[in-house]
Structures are given as structure tokens and as C-alpha cells.
Amino acid sequence: MTIPTLTKVIGTLTAIVIAILAIAVIFFVAGANPLNGIVQTINDVGRFLADPFRFIFRIEGEPKGTFALNYAIAAAVYLVIGVLLSKLVVAVGGLVDRRRRPGARRRWAPRSR
């Protein structure tokens, strides 16, 4: 898999995670029917993704605001992780590419006799 392809995959997965969290917030705030199959699926996946962040903040008397804030924090963390992971892939790929390039200076090359 090429580096651009891998970064696109990471970007796509990050976008999907953020979209699921955003849709879960919209469903909760808008009062979507929790018995609907689509709503249940999005809520279950969103809960799984946001579980470590669900109780970071609590806004008294505002359960919808609390829910939205904590899910937004989760989305922001996943966005940062996705960006950092993409940059790491590009950096490591650049190092590997430099070593594979023909004519590149090699420190470890044996001396000619």
C-alpha cells in the first residue's frame, strides 16, 4: 500500500468516526426515536467510541449540552489522533523512501577494495 493511499484510508476512517459521533449528538439533541434500528446502531457505535470521554464534563441541568460537549471532545481527540497518525505515516514513509532511492548515499555500504 502506498503512503498516499494509507493516509487517505486514515483520513477516511477519521472522518467516519467523527461523522458517527456528530450524528449520535444530532439524534440525541433532536430526540430521535431510540427504538429505530438506524438510531440504535449509530448510538451504540457512538457510545463505544465516546465511552472514555462521556463523563469528562457535566453541565448541571443540561443533559443534552453535557452529552454534546463530551462527544465533541471525543471527536476532537479522534481528529488529532488521525492527523498525527497520518503525519507519522508520511514521515516514516519518507525515511523508508530515502533508503530505497537508487543512488542515495548509504552509510552502511561496504568499502570497495
pTM: 0.78
Determine how many CB atoms are found less than 10 A away from the CB of residue 74: 23
Per-residue model confidence as pLDDT tens digits over 41-57? 999 999 999 999 888 88
Per-residue model confidence as pLDDT tens digits over 72-81? 999 999 999 9
Q: Give the integer Cα–Cα distance in Å for 113 and 92.
A: 34
CB-based burial, 32-60: b 16+ in 10 Å, e otherwise: beeeeeebeebbebbeebbeebeeeeeee
Grid coordinates representing 60 are 448541571
Identify the CA nearest to 9 among candidates 71, 90, 91, 73. Answer: 90
